[in-house]
Each structure stands twice: as structure tokens, then as C-alpha cells.
Amino acid sequence: MQDHFEDDALTFRAPQRTRWYTRLWPACLGHGCFGRKRRQFQLYLIGYDPVGHLQRAASVGDVALVQKFINGSEYHINESDRRRRTSLHYACAHNHPNVVAWLVSNDSTDINIQDDEGCTPLIKATQRDNVECVSILLKQGADPHIVDFGGDAALHHAVVQGNITIAGQLLKYKANIDAKTEYGVTPYKLALYGRQHQMAEFLIKNGAEAHLGMKPNRYSFFFLQS
């Protein structure tokens, strides 16, 4: 009887493949993997998964638990994970303005702390298009001039995202409209590179210097490459 089971198993067993991940193919066919919608990871959120209890509470917007951890002295408010990401970073990345507001109301919070990529909570909130978090941070004194380790300030990230609302908030709090990256690229020039014409026009209206006298149009990208 056992021999018959083994024969049947061999009959329907998928061919053995040389690499472990190719052996997932029969399993996917059997469970309809290709009929499901593929999970889309949000830009700048890939790898931003909390590993500690405090960071996890902040990432899901659990204000009460965050308060319990901090007020009970179980964790320091600026405690970070191995990538130097604090609870404030996680709250900003996952768009929980209620957690952000509570954290920045504490005098001990380092609002401009940088993670291992040089991202402040303000930069992280800007990368994620989290307008309310950006607003709270700026009102509480977040510095819009700090650059990450790639040389980009929050305004550069707002331009890349094409988020005029956040760009306007940053300029309201005196962000340098002509700040240059380590490669000498200003927000205006970055907008042209990315064909963000509305953003480029917005920056011009707010005082950005037009490089080489260029105005935003559909040919600007090619002029910049020459």
C-alpha cells in the first residue's frame, strides 16, 4: 500500500530544479499565486518594518501603547533600532499624525534625529507624501535645511514626489529654495529633470533661480542633458 502512495507521489511530483526558489513554481500553480494581485510596496517604505515594541506601536498608530511605553520608562522616547530609526521615524513613515503630535509634544524628543540614511522624521514624512505629519513637524520646529547622507534636503524629496503642497509648507518655514545637492542640483533643476513642470513653475513663482534662463517646458529636460 505504501508503495502505491509513493508511486502516485512520484507520478505527480514536479521536476526537481537546481535552485531552491524555482521549486516554489509548482506551489504557486497549485495555490493560484498568479491569480492574486501582486502586493505593491510603497516607495521609501520597503524595509521600514519595525523590530521593537515601541517602534511597532508607533508604526500602527497606537498612541495609548506608545504613551504607556514612554511614560512607564520601559523605553526612552529617542530609542532607536539598529538602523537608528526612532518611534518618530516610524510614525512619520506610516502616516500616523496623532502619534507624531504626541511624540513631538515631549520636550525630550529629538525632532531632527537622523537614521542610518541621514533621514530626519521630516524627510521621511516628505518622502511618504504625509502632509499632516510634515505640518506638525514644521510647526514644532523641525529643521527643513538638514540633508540626508545623499545630500538631499526635504524640499528635494518633495520635488521628486511632485508634492506642491509639501513644497509650499517647506518654503513657508524658510527652506532654501536654491539648495544644492552634492551634485549641484537645485530643486528647480531637479523638477526639470523629472519633467515636473507644474512643480518647476511653482518654484519659479516662489523665487527659484532659473538656470541658464530656462523656463519649464516640455523641452527643458533635453536642454539639461546637453
pLDDT value at residue 218: 45
Using a pLDDT cut of 90, give the percent of the chain over it: 66
How many residues can be counted in the chain?
Answer: 226
Residue for cell digits 513653475? 201
C-alpha cell recorded at residue 47? 524595509
Distances (CA, A) of 49 to 96, 104, 151: 15, 21, 24
pLDDT value at residue 52: 85
d(CA 11, CA 17): 16
Between 165 and 22, the higher pLDDT residue: 165
In sequence order, the 6+-apart residues with CB closer than 8 A to the CB of 219 are none
- pLDDT-derived band at 143 (thresholds 50, 70, 90) equals very high
Q: What is the DSSP letter of 209?
A: P
pLDDT surpassing 90 at residue 161? yes
Residues paired with residue 153 on neighbouring β-strands, in sequence order: 147
C-alpha cell recorded at residue 100? 507624531
- pLDDT-derived band at 45 (thresholds 50, 70, 90) equals low
For the purposes of burial, counting CB atoms within 10 Å of the CB of 197, is it exposed (0-12), middle (13-18) or buried (19 or more)? middle
pLDDT value at residue 22: 43
d(CA 58, CA 51): 11
- Mean pLDDT in the chain? 80
Closest CA to 153 of 131, 129, 176: 176
d(CA 154, CA 144): 6
pLDDT value at residue 49: 77
| Per-residue pLDDT reduced to its tens digit, 169-216 | 999 999 999 999 988 999 999 999 999 999 999 999 999 987 544 554
d(CA 7, CA 3): 6
pLDDT surpassing 90 at residue 84? yes
pLDDT value at residue 211: 58
Domains delineated in the chain: 144-226 (1.25.40.20)
d(CA 8, CA 82): 50
Between 10 and 169, the higher pLDDT residue: 169
CA 41, distance to chain mean position in Å, is 11
pLDDT surpassing 50 at residue 220? no
d(CA 47, CA 144): 24
